[in-house]
Amino acid sequence: MPRLTISAAEEQLAFEVTVKEIEEWWQTPRQSHIKRPYSAQRVASLRPSLPTKYASSEQALKLWKQLNEHLKNGTHEMTFGTTEPTVVSQMAKHLQTVYVSGALCGFSEVAEPGMDHADYPWDTVPKVVDKIFRSQQWHDQKQHHFRMLHPVEQRDGLEHWDYMAPIIADGDMGFGGSTSTIKMTKLFVDSGVAMFHLDDLASGKKRFTIGQGRTVVPFSEYIDRLTAARLQIDIMGAETMLLCRCDVDHSEFITDIIDPRDHEYVQGATVPIASLIDTMREAAEAGDGLPLLQVRAKWIKDSGLSTFDEAVKAVATEQEYTAYIEKLGKGTVSLKARRAIAAELVSKPVFFDWDLARSRDGQYFYKSNVKAIVERAIAAAPLGDVTWARMDLPKWDDLVSFHTQVREVYPDRLFAFGYTGDYDFPKAGFSTEAIKTFGEDLAKMGVVWQVQPIWCLQGLNMLTEQFSKLWRERGLEGYLETVQKPALATVPMTDGFEKASYCGSYLADAFFDTLAARDFGEGSSGKTISAKRQR
């Protein structure tokens, strides 16, 4: 292998130029809101020597512009999730962006399907983004070619779609440690993604079903994840946007109590009692008692499970509790410091043991509220570009409270919101009128990107069921009437084999034509319109 001939002095000079370029880049309007906990020197030292440009940057700049435009106008983008190129090509006609959902990938893009546990390989979603991005480029290319086959005076009458809708993708929890987050980020940037999101859920513990519990990682681990992703984006010199998603809402567990910023929300037993695990084990061994879920529910009741502050409130006088809260102030107070304040101001002892309540997996019980989400969102904001408080249930007051509090600190913040298929809006108290204006009302609080992540699961699934029935019952007549006729008549540019051959035959013909031209002269196939003129 030949040795590089560049001298150390030249290498140093090039390094210093790169550092300066990075510093200048970080001052641009797209970058200036991001605050890194590392230097441009560090980024420059981590860069490989071959400068590379990424389509992800173009797409991110486009998305950045679209979302800021919405923010300025109080409007919003609505999109939905898919993993299917044939769906994406039609979305482009009405929507500005495309979402690639992890849940959908887990159902349809893996060898072994399963529910939304983010238990598929770390490169699954970036590979699907790559597939979608290539399909967008193909549609874009054939549309361009189709237009160029027509004389300029006819082109205004042709359809002209922006197929290159920025793709937003699901990075889940970054798939393990910082190195996997870094590798996934690299693949996302390579794939052409415009933005991806990282959340604070625990790897292997993305559990939504009752009794299993949603588990978050400590505050610091969440911030580390986002920092790892931002660092890798910077190393690649890309504009790729990062969406900071926070899953604290409705979380039942946290994996560790290492970060004092979480202590306020961790729950423990407030009476001396056998630990939850021992209680469950004994019940299982006895084999004659209650089902284990009921044993757990009984233990939760018997243990007086609550946060330390709730435990203080339960034993203190009203005056003592007020003094305790006042002394806590607004900053971070660890459990140790809370115990000391309580010992000083409360006359009765406060029993609190969070270890007794640990789960079989070692998790601690966690009690989330809007304040906890706000704290994480504010700490995460400087590393990313958009914020999303993922909420299971659409509580309007919580939504208002969350966005208002974050906007007090970051008035120009861009926000995202996800609609899942089984939100029960009427049950949550939304009137028909409120449902109609829900998206617009959110947009007024800066929620500029709104997504139904798993429409394909519910919507496309339903359409497939309906069509299967129709196909079975009405056969060809039903197909012609309800599919082919409208597809050819009203949407002549669907991906089907319609008159205009818009599914790509012109493009393929152009390739064959170009090759044949060597032997038979230009325009040999004679199939394309004005092909001769365009070569």
Ligand X SMILES: C[C@](O)(C(=O)O)[C@H](CC(=O)O)C(=O)O
- Checking DSSP bridges between strand 364-366 and strand 266-268, what pairing results, if any? antiparallel
Q: Which of 102, 126, 218, 446 is close enough to bind ligand X by CB under 6 A?
A: 102
Candidate segments 100-108, 293-301, 340-348, 513-521, binder of ligand X by CB under 6 A = 100-108
- Phi, psi angle pair for 295, to nearest 5°: -60, -45
- Supply the minimum distance, in Å, between the C-beta of residue 153 and ligand X: 46
Q: Which of 63, 79, 81, 338 is close enough to bind ligand X by CB under 6 A?
A: 81
Give the footprint of ligand X on residues 455-484 (CB under 6 A): none
**Which lies closer to ligand X via its Cβ, residue 369 or residue 458?**
458
Q: Which residues of 197-225 are buried (b: 16+ CB within 10 A; e: fewer)?
A: bbbbbbbebbbeeeeebbbbbbbebbbbb
**Which lies closer to ligand X via its Cβ, residue 243 or residue 283?**
243
- Supply the minimum distance, in Å, between the C-beta of residue 116 and ligand X: 5
First to last CA, the chain: 44
Give dist(CA 410, CA 384) in Å, integer: 12
- Phi, psi angle pair for 257, to nearest 5°: -115, 25
**Which lies closer to ligand X via its Cβ, residue 212 or residue 525?**
212
- Each residue 2-41 as x (binds ligand X by CB under 6 A) or -, in order, gives ----------------------------------------
**Which lies closer to ligand X via its Cβ, residue 101 or residue 143?**
101
- Phi, psi angle pair for 270, to nearest 5°: -110, 10
Give the footprint of ligand X on residues 410-429 (CB under 6 A): 418, 420
Q: Which of 77, 116, 252, 385 is close enough to bind ligand X by CB under 6 A?
A: 116
**Which lies closer to ligand X via its Cβ, residue 184 or residue 531?**
184
- Supply the minimum distance, in Å, between the C-beta of residue 376 and ligand X: 16
Q: Binding of ligand X at residue 213 (CB under 6 A)?
A: no
**Which lies closer to ligand X via its Cβ, residue 261 or residue 390?**
390
Candidate segments 64-72, 84-92, 99-107, 297-305, binder of ligand X by CB under 6 A = 99-107
Give dist(CA 381, CA 89) in Å, integer: 33
Contact partners, residue 381, CB within 8 Å, separation at least 6 = 244, 387, 406, 409, 410, 413
Q: Which of 244, 386, 454, 503 is close enough to bind ligand X by CB under 6 A?
A: 454
Among candidates 69, 78, 91, 241, which has minimal Cα distance to 171? Answer: 241
* Size of residue set near ligand X by CB under 6 A: 11
Helix (H/G/I), strand (E/B), else coil: 454: coil
Give the footprint of ligand X on residues 148-177 (CB under 6 A): 170
- Supply the minimum distance, in Å, between the C-beta of residue 121 and ligand X: 15
Residue position matching structure tokens 């979480």:
262
Tokens of 160: 């002209």
**Which lies closer to ligand X via its Cβ, residue 192 or residue 418?**
418
Binding site annotation covers 412?
no
**Which lies closer to ligand X via its Cβ, residue 170 or residue 234?**
170
Give dist(CA 186, CA 180) in Å, integer: 10
Bridge partners of 246, per DSSP, are 389
Give dist(CA 377, CA 402) in Å, integer: 9
Give the footprint of ligand X on residues 281-310 (CB under 6 A): none
Q: Binding of ligand X at residue 130 (CB under 6 A)?
A: no
Q: Which of 142, 205, 376, 390 is close enough to bind ligand X by CB under 6 A?
A: 390
Give dist(CA 518, CA 535) in Å, integer: 13
Tokens of 60: 């991110």
| Alpha helical stretches, state H, 276-411 | 276-286, 292-302, 308-315, 318-328, 335-345, 370-380, 396-409
Give dist(CA 18, CA 32) in Å, integer: 18
Q: Are 82 and 69 in contact (CB under 8 A)?
A: no
**Which lies closer to ligand X via its Cβ, residue 76 or residue 390?**
390
Candidate segments 95-103, 348-356, 365-373, 403-411, binder of ligand X by CB under 6 A = 95-103
Candidate segments 28-36, 97-105, 298-306, 503-511, binder of ligand X by CB under 6 A = 97-105
**Which lies closer to ligand X via its Cβ, residue 392 or residue 481?**
392
**Which lies closer to ligand X via its Cβ, residue 18 or residue 101?**
101
| Alpha helical stretches, state H, 217-265 | 219-235
Q: Binding of ligand X at residue 453 (CB under 6 A)?
A: yes
Q: Which of 101, 135, 185, 267 is close enough to bind ligand X by CB under 6 A?
A: 101
- Supply the minimum distance, in Å, between the C-beta of residue 109 and ligand X: 12
Q: Which of 103, 216, 238, 345 is close enough to bind ligand X by CB under 6 A?
A: 103
Tokens of 524: 């040999």
- Supply the minimum distance, in Å, between the C-beta of residue 396 and ligand X: 19
Tokens of 492: 């002549």
Q: Are 50 and 4 in contact (CB under 8 A)?
A: no
Annotated binding site: 170
Annotated binding site for Mg(2+): 170
Q: Which residues bind ligand X (CB under 6 A)?
A: 81, 101-103, 116, 170, 390, 418, 420, 453-454
